[in-house]
Chains A and B, each alone.
Chain A
Amino acid sequence: MVRIFVDTLSPNQYISETELATCVKLVKAFNFSVIWISNLSNHLFDQIKKKNQTKNFLIYPRLDLGAKQEKKEDIIFLLRQNRREYPVIGIECLTPDIAAWAAQDNRVDILKFPVLQFNRLFSLSVANLMLKFNKSLEVPLSTLYTSSERVHIPLIRETRLALARAVKKGIPIIFSSSSSKVRDQRNPLELAALGQILCLDSQKALDGVSTIPNTLLEGNLKKIDPNYIMPGVFRLNFDQNEEE
């Protein structure tokens, strides 16, 4: 079985267009087939997509909230504003309140946590809610390998404890580089290897870079389709019926 690898790019606001284009080309060179670019302006995203998207390399936008918005109300406002515009929506949970709310909200697909507080914020109750409402947990691996040496030990410890909880509960885990620079890009197999060290299962780690994000994306693309009505109900042959 050939795996379709998926990665996320999280460019910061100061990134130039050329650097972003290099990032995308590098991701393509590393044999990723799908890439999610988070929080990018529509104009820049369209340009990048036009230049780089091919039949075997697909680019999708992604909305990431929570890192800049301190209040829950601000996040809800932005979610309402961008409803049905993004195939993937992720929330970075900086407080336990936001984590508990995001785990129950149907608009949210992915939950992220600051890695140094991973084990504290990703509590057992949040894990139960995530399981109940079909949410995925994302681990931005670039924070692990780009951080300074003195925080390597707490970072790996926090992540391992949190991922052990997620594996025990059966929550789908997504491993992504979430990098903002060219230098932080890594091979999909290396990301999976780092994931394997953290969650002690090679198949789960490989699924986290390929199968789990792919199934999530496919499901959400169906949902934002104009012919989608509700789970299991689609409008068929829409154009033909209108012509008749």
Chain B
Amino acid sequence: MIKERSRYIVIRFISSSPMNEREAWKAVSLEIRKIFGVYGAARVGLYLSYFDFELQTGIFRSSHNCISHVRTGLCYIHKYNNHYLYAFSDYVSGTLKKCKEYLKNPKSQTAYSSLRQLLLKQEKPLKTQ
């Protein structure tokens, strides 16, 4: 049997109310489970390895075969707790160390902050039901 390797995915979250570690994990994993079911989610093997509250960025670990599943799940994320939520993958690597280095990279930070400004500028509050 071929050994399953893991990949670490840097996922950025942009929302008007900041998310904590648990909420970030829930938003991504629920969407993956909705689309691929319990069996598919088990194949993905999603695990939140690291979360930076200030940057609103998480590093998720998944099976190397199933990165497309995680990215597809991100496509379907629109809102969480009555707030619009934008989640997108930014970087993929084989080690957690490289992903953490990427977070500290000033180039990636400026790109992310400009994107954040752009998205939050036009956001209107969601109507509560």
Mark A residues whose CB is within 8 Å of B.
19, 22, 25-26, 29-30, 141, 144-146, 149, 152, 182-183, 186-187, 189-194, 196-197, 202
B114 near A29 (CB under 8 angstroms)?
Answer: yes
A-B contact pairs, 26 of them (CB 8 A): A19-B122, A22-B121, A25-B118, A26-B118, A29-B118, A141-B75, A149-B34, A182-B119, A182-B122, A183-B78, A183-B84, A186-B75, A187-B71, A187-B88, A187-B89, A190-B72, A190-B75, A190-B88, A192-B68, A193-B71, A193-B72, A194-B72, A196-B72, A197-B68, A197-B69, A202-B68
- Rounded to whole angstroms, the CA-CA distance of A30 and B12 in the bound complex is 13
Binary contact readout B70-107 vs A (1 if CB under 8 angstroms, 0 otherwise): 11101110100000101011000000000000000000
Contacts of A189 in B (CB 8 A): 71, 89
B119 near A26 (CB under 8 angstroms)?
Answer: yes
Q: Is the interface of B mostly helix, strand, loop or mixed?
A: helix
- Rounded to whole angstroms, the CA-CA distance of A192 and B118 in the bound complex is 23
- Rounded to whole angstroms, the CA-CA distance of A29 and B117 in the bound complex is 11
A193 near B75 (CB under 8 angstroms)?
Answer: yes
Contacts of B68 in A (CB 8 A): 192-193, 196-197, 202
Contacts of B115 in A (CB 8 A): 26, 29-30
Contacts of B86 in A (CB 8 A): 183
Most buried by A among B75, B89, B118: B75
Q: Is the interface of A mostly helix, strand, loop or mixed?
A: helix
Is the CB of B38 closer than 8 A to any CB of chain A?
no
Q: Chain B: how many interface residues by the 8 Å CB criterion?
A: 23
Is the CB of B59 closer than 8 A to any CB of chain A?
no
B122 near A22 (CB under 8 angstroms)?
Answer: yes
Contacts of B111 in A (CB 8 A): 29
Most buried by A among B68, B69, B89: B68
Most buried by B among A152, A196, A197: A197
Which A-chain residue is minimally distant from B78 (CB atoms)? A183
Most buried by B among A25, A146, A187, A190: A190
Is the CB of B27 closer than 8 A to any CB of chain A?
no
- Rounded to whole angstroms, the CA-CA distance of A189 and B72 in the bound complex is 9
Is the CB of B35 closer than 8 A to any CB of chain A?
yes
Query: Least Cβ distance of B116 to chain A in Å?
Result: 10
- Rounded to whole angstroms, the CA-CA distance of A26 and B75 in the bound complex is 15
Most buried by A among B35, B69, B72, B89: B72
Which A-chain residue is minimally distant from B77 (CB atoms)? A145
Query: Least Cβ distance of B34 to chain A in Å?
Result: 8
Contacts of A202 in B (CB 8 A): 68
Given contacts A145-B75, A152-B35, A193 and B67 within 8 Å (CB-CB): yes
Which B-chain residue is minimally distant from A196 (CB atoms)? B68
Contacts of A191 in B (CB 8 A): 75
Given contacts A22-B121, A197-B69, A186 and B76 within 8 Å (CB-CB): no
Contacts of B71 in A (CB 8 A): 187, 189-190, 193-194
Which A-chain residue is minimally distant from B121 (CB atoms)? A22
- Among all A-B residue pairs, the 8 with the closest Cβ atoms: A193-B71, A193-B68, A145-B75, A196-B68, A190-B71, A29-B115, A187-B88, A194-B72
